[in-house]
Structure 1
Amino acid sequence: MEFGTGASGKAPVTIVHPTLPKGDVHTTPAPYPMSTPLPDIAEGEALTIADDGTKVRDLMHHGIISCTPDDTVGTVAKIMVSNEIHAVVVMGDDNQAIGVVSQTDMVLARQGRTPDEARSMRAREIMTPGCATCDADMLLSEAVSLMTGRRMHRLVVTESGQPVGVISMTDVVRKIIGE
């Protein structure tokens, strides 16, 4: 009996890897049409969105759900889960947004690390530095154009240069479908 199979465990079974028939020919063009890399942010083309007069402040989430650069990834994950959000703003000592930790950043932090190693990393180690911002009085259509042109999912909303909230593509989708 092998270690870890337990007293009632069944013996491991060898699985033969399947092979393709000899006459099977690969006809898909290479490179695959979807395998071309996405254009650089600088190459992104902003969309023109129909404007109904909605301002960012009408749809944004008021308040900043944030962490510090020294918070652990485990702490940031708990903040995301408990607030049902997809990213946390990293706030510096001067109460300015200095970066964002997204779910994607967390997934990438786990690569090649144990769960405990990933959880113990600091927000500053995995955050995307810098924050794309927009003013609360900006037209929603302009903010959406900004996000699509930069291939971003959210913007930190400011008033008089101070962060006051977040607008995300999820908020825009909810508006579109009328929730």
Structure 2
Amino acid sequence: MSTAQTGKKARDVMHEGVQCVGEHDSLRTASQMMCDLGVGALPICGDDDRLKGIITDRDIVVMCCAQGRDIDQTTAGELARGLVWVDADASIDEALFTMEEHHIKRLPVIESHRLLGMISEADLAKELSDTKLAEFVHRVYALD
């Protein structure tokens, strides 16, 4: 699925102004941030201001609530999982490939070791043709 003709980079399609939840913040704090921001996922940043992972609303439900863990005592960092990201100057094709390869719907965009923004399905919907978007969705949601 090539979008090379657009010449756009990850920085051109991401949304900026991404807020992080701290790795030591509780899942209640993360949940409240998601509610306030109207998002279903948050990047997790460490004390060193570096990206540590991403937490989703589903992660909180499945890996905390359903397991009987305390939402006030469990930290975002405890649920941080595989760190996948793309450089701000990467092509859209590279970002799409990364998302498809890892079956993820949100991709942090990094510049100089700092979180610059996020690419989501909604961001891609604005940039890709209907056919390319359908191919992307099929690949992301496909089972290995």
TM-score (norm: length of structure 1): 0.64
SS at match of 1:158: strand
Partner amino acid for 1:152?
A: I
SS at match of 1:71: coil
Alignment pair present for 1:99 and 2:56: no
Alignment pair present for 1:151 and 2:106: no
CA separation in 2, counterparts of 1:156 and 1:59?
12
TM-score (norm: length of structure 2): 0.78
Asked whether the equivalents of residues 131 and 156 of structure 1 are also in contact (C-alpha less than 8 Å), the reply is: no
Deviations 1:60-89 (A, max 9, x none): 111331011111111101111111112111
Structure 2 partner of 1:121: 74
Asked whether the equivalents of residues 20 and 44 of structure 2 are also in contact (C-alpha less than 8 Å), the reply is: yes
Structure 1 partner of 2:120: 168
CA separation in 1, counterparts of 2:28 and 2:89?
35
Deviations 1:34-62 (A, max 9, x none): xxxxxxxxxxxxxx333221211111111
SS at match of 2:104: coil
CA separation in 2, counterparts of 1:135 and 1:164?
9
Structure 1: gaps spanning 5 or more residues: 1-47
CA separation in 1, counterparts of 2:112 and 2:78?
29
Deviations 1:82-133 (A, max 9, x none): 111121111112111011111221121111327xx234421122222x4211
CA separation in 1, counterparts of 2:117 and 2:45?
13
- Once the two structures are TM-superposed, the CA of residue 177 in structure 1 deviates from its matched residue by 7.0
| Structure exhibiting the larger radius of gyration computed from Cα positions | 1
CA separation in 2, counterparts of 1:75 and 1:143?
29
After superposition, the Cα gap between the structure-2 partners of 1:103 and 1:53, relative to the gap in structure 1 and judged at 3 Å, is: same
Q: Alignment partner for residue 138 of structure 1, among 75, 90, 99? A: 90
Q: How many residues align?
A: 128
Alignment pair present for 1:72 and 2:14: no
Partner amino acid for 1:72?
A: S
Structure 2: gaps spanning 5 or more residues: 131-144
CA separation in 1, counterparts of 2:77 and 2:3?
38
RMSD: 2.0
Q: How does 1:45-60 map to 2 (within 5 A)?
A: 48-51=1-4, 52-60=6-14
- Higher helix fraction (1 or 2): 2
Asked whether the equivalents of residues 131 and 155 of structure 1 are also in contact (C-alpha less than 8 Å), the reply is: no
CA separation in 2, counterparts of 1:50 and 1:143?
11
- Once the two structures are TM-superposed, the CA of residue 149 in structure 1 deviates from its matched residue by 1.3
Partner amino acid for 1:83?
A: L
